[in-house]
Structure 1
């Protein structure tokens, strides 16, 4: 046993030492935790993100590690779902495809942003309000912000319309058919590979975007009301019949539309000079206008056509930024998120990468419009974007609809039969997620 006197002597020595130690520790500057930011894309995009994060580091003193994800969207989603489902703190901040937002929000993986927006004085009004309301809000709570906004557009050969005396881009789908038939018949005298209209009809997500734009422009679309999903409706049957007829009846779209036509196949066909009209995303503009492009300075863009009594519709696409609810550095994460959606950063992403900003106020920037004049027309299109069904299980629904739509385009099933089968299958999926 240690004598009481010795214990007292030791206490007199140890306790002041502990107090001094705690004081010194408390006086040390708090070390910011290193953030992890997950983003994918092409090598040039990732290199620019590294540059932007270096600038953020110098301005804020916060270290950020870039978690490089692949270009493939499905692989990127899976690369986020695994750590989020496991409750891991990293990544702290990440970009999400708009169609993932419902799943991520319903799974409670996203940190609410409303209070921080108010505290920091960042107004929601600088963003496209329709995008915020239809995509970034879940159960009334803001959970993400748009970084890159996408929407379907109609590209057209301005020189060919002028050559054949046709007045501007078509306003209706019937006009598109008429213009295509006239120009295609003449152009094939010298170019047998020429088609009137190229669009995305292969069995993948792009087919749903194309179908939705045509269907909704005539009062249809994939509708979700009170948990019920409606697909087999008269406007949707007309839209799918119209798409099928473009290939098999009017023959103004190539037979490969339902086998291989995705974004790049469509862009390349149009850019080689083999089409009058093209449905594609805004990214194609820079490539069409690039050095060596056969259609450079011959192209213009317009809103997509519509059916009589309908209105033009563009499918909402793009990437949104959010903070993990499990992040252990939420204050620092918010600073990074605000930097990503800032006017300065969004402008750099537009000028360097051609990204369409999520901020509406940038579409009035004079420097931006001088460099990217087509942005003036994008703003009006982006004010009327339509999201795909906002469902936590959308990826499963999408897989079913893609397959059924493609079967109708290929002639394997009549449009009404394909839509009826799709509706039955997606309703079965929905029932599995309904609360008991």
Structure 2
């Protein structure tokens, strides 16, 4: 994992001594020990640029958190505020942005570029990090080469932490992550004498899925007929994710590590053929071509598909929609794409030091456990281990199972706490989730991601809706457009 530019050991030790000396002097001058330890009651004295820190609150901008689990993001903010009750400068406030991901991105870009909103921390989709970093809208994280801070960063799952990096600098900390998983109906498979491997981390292959669908004799024509599987093929980001997974399975990489286009018409054809195989041989639910996360989850829960490609939150949501014995989960066949959000400090924040301290708290081992308990995928490896630290007690008490008030809420928002299958099944789920995250792949890392995903969605959705799709012709057109997109044209 890249954590920034490496300096010599001697320079590191010298800098560490200077920092410690400065901290010690600061403590003696202010006589406020809590301010040096980060404990409750201490006001940070600088903004992070050597200037006096502005008064609070620390404002965090994020997408909507209307969960079925007690709004875990808000609960974590409230826990931070309780721990800093004696300091006005260290109080934090969560501002939730309305709309979908594209609308939120536009709002944040506009607000940060114009300076019209006073945000100190932004919760960014992992695909936005290069764009915001390249535009100078977020600050690089301090480089830690040794000591507790560096050790703490190393606890983040390697591929998840890599989402925070652009041009060898980390610009954020991973808050919550995501990865594609395979949900299935063991009862339907067992009735057809199809062996169901219940071992944790057992990998299905797409060929095994196709063979199971063939054995079941499925060939759906209408949306109310039982299909082999369903997923998100509507013209939005879900289609991009499914396409990138099919491409990755075929060995097709669209960009190099610097975001430069690296594919070709021949390679793109391989990827498009892989996606069409999943649609045709997998006997996908016809409604999948217009399905987002909510629609796909509903089709599976209401018995219109045997398999479902979805995110981790579906495990908790299904507990409110189905009999616990009617569904199970395994890693997605082949490659699975990472999702999630990272927390970054805005470039113009006058509260940068306090903002970084808040981010450290929100991504701590205890906070990450709270996120996992609420239905998110946690970003730290230790959270998936047997010695994981528990969620903050008051946050844990505030969380409630997904769908307790409204079963459809978790499906709509993408968040909610798992329940229904018991402790043993949940432990198995957590092991599967942790393993899947260590093997997941990223979508292209580029400052032009917004343009890329629109081009890909448009081309691929048109191909999927054609009666006789020509992948060679589609690949030629897609190649030309992607060359322009990744060159910033």
TM-score using structure 2 length: 0.73
Aligned residue among 323, 333, 356 for 2:377:
356
Structure 2 vs 1, CA of residues 39 and 57 (structure 1 numbering), >3 Å: closer, same or farther?
same
Cross-structure match for 1:7: none
Aligned residue among 262, 285, 293 for 1:263:
293
Give yes or no for the alignment of 1:172 onto 2:205.
Answer: yes
Shift of 1:381: 0.6
Tell me, in whole angstroms, the C-alpha distance in 2 between the residues paired with 1:192 and 1:67. Answer: 40
1:349-384 Cα offsets, whole Å, 9 max, x none, are: 222x21111111101146879484211111111001
Structure 2 vs 1, CA of residues 192 and 136 (structure 1 numbering), >3 Å: closer, same or farther?
closer
Unpaired runs of 5+ residues, structure 1, are: 1-25, 306-311
Tell me, in whole angstroms, the C-alpha distance in 2 between the residues paired with 1:27 and 1:241. Answer: 67
Structure 2 vs 1, CA of residues 46 and 336 (structure 1 numbering), >3 Å: closer, same or farther?
farther
Q: Does structure 2 conserve the Cα–Cα contact (< 8 Å) formed by 1:156 and 1:278? A: yes
Which range moves more in the overlay, 227-236 or 54-63?
Answer: 227-236
Larger Rg: 1
Alignment: residue pair count:
393
Query: How does 1:265-344 map onto structure 2 within 5 Å?
Result: 265-290=295-320, 293-305=321-333, 312-344=334-366
Tell me, in whole angstroms, the C-alpha distance in 2 between the residues paired with 1:160 and 1:235. Answer: 37
Give yes or no for the alignment of 1:240 onto 2:275.
Answer: no
Cross-structure match for 1:431: 487
Cross-structure match for 1:104: 132
Tell me, in whole angstroms, the C-alpha distance in 2 between the residues paired with 1:228 and 1:332. Answer: 36
Query: How does 1:76-91 map onto structure 2 within 5 Å?
Result: 76-87=104-115, 90-91=118-119
Shift of 1:49: 3.1
Cross-structure match for 1:130: 159
Q: Does structure 2 conserve the Cα–Cα contact (< 8 Å) formed by 1:36 and 1:65? A: yes
Cross-structure match for 1:15: none
Give yes or no for the alignment of 1:153 onto 2:181.
Answer: yes
Q: Does structure 1 conserve the Cα–Cα contact (< 8 Å) formed by 2:65 and 2:73? A: no
Q: Does structure 2 conserve the Cα–Cα contact (< 8 Å) formed by 1:408 and 1:414? A: yes
Which range moves more in the overlay, 38-47 or 51-60?
Answer: 38-47
Question: SS in structure 1 opposite 2:261?
Answer: strand
Tell me, in whole angstroms, the C-alpha distance in 2 between the residues paired with 1:156 and 1:50. Answer: 33
Q: Does structure 1 conserve the Cα–Cα contact (< 8 Å) formed by 2:338 and 2:442? A: yes
Cross-structure match for 1:36: 59
Q: Does structure 2 conserve the Cα–Cα contact (< 8 Å) formed by 1:89 and 1:327? A: no
Structure 2 vs 1, CA of residues 317 and 79 (structure 1 numbering), >3 Å: closer, same or farther?
same
Shift of 1:164: 1.8
Tell me, in whole angstroms, the C-alpha distance in 1 between the residues paired with 2:99 and 2:431. Answer: 29
Which range moves more in the overlay, 98-107 or 151-160?
Answer: 151-160
Structure 2 vs 1, CA of residues 229 and 129 (structure 1 numbering), >3 Å: closer, same or farther?
same
Question: SS in structure 2 opposite 1:197?
Answer: strand
Aligned residue among 216, 221, 225 for 1:193:
225
Shift of 1:168: 2.9
Tell me, in whole angstroms, the C-alpha distance in 2 between the residues paired with 1:76 and 1:89. Answer: 13
TM-score using structure 1 length: 0.82
Tell me, in whole angstroms, the C-alpha distance in 2 between the residues paired with 1:49 and 1:251. Answer: 37
Question: SS in structure 2 opposite 1:390?
Answer: coil
1:306-328 Cα offsets, whole Å, 9 max, x none, are: xxxxxx21101001111112110
Tell me, in whole angstroms, the C-alpha distance in 1 between the residues paired with 2:423 and 2:322. Answer: 23
Cross-structure match for 1:8: none
1:162-204 Cα offsets, whole Å, 9 max, x none, are: 2222233673222211101222449x9xx96101111221111
Q: Does structure 1 conserve the Cα–Cα contact (< 8 Å) formed by 2:268 and 2:479? A: no
Which range moves more in the overlay, 381-390 or 121-130?
Answer: 121-130
Shift of 1:215: 2.0
Tell me, in whole angstroms, the C-alpha distance in 1 between the residues paired with 2:349 and 2:144. Answer: 15
Give yes or no for the alignment of 1:385 onto 2:416.
Answer: no
1:203-228 Cα offsets, whole Å, 9 max, x none, are: 11111111111221221242337764
1:58-87 Cα offsets, whole Å, 9 max, x none, are: 212312122121251112112211122124
Structure 2 vs 1, CA of residues 181 and 99 (structure 1 numbering), >3 Å: closer, same or farther?
same
Structure 2 vs 1, CA of residues 128 and 231 (structure 1 numbering), >3 Å: closer, same or farther?
same
Which range moves more in the overlay, 56-65 or 323-332?
Answer: 56-65
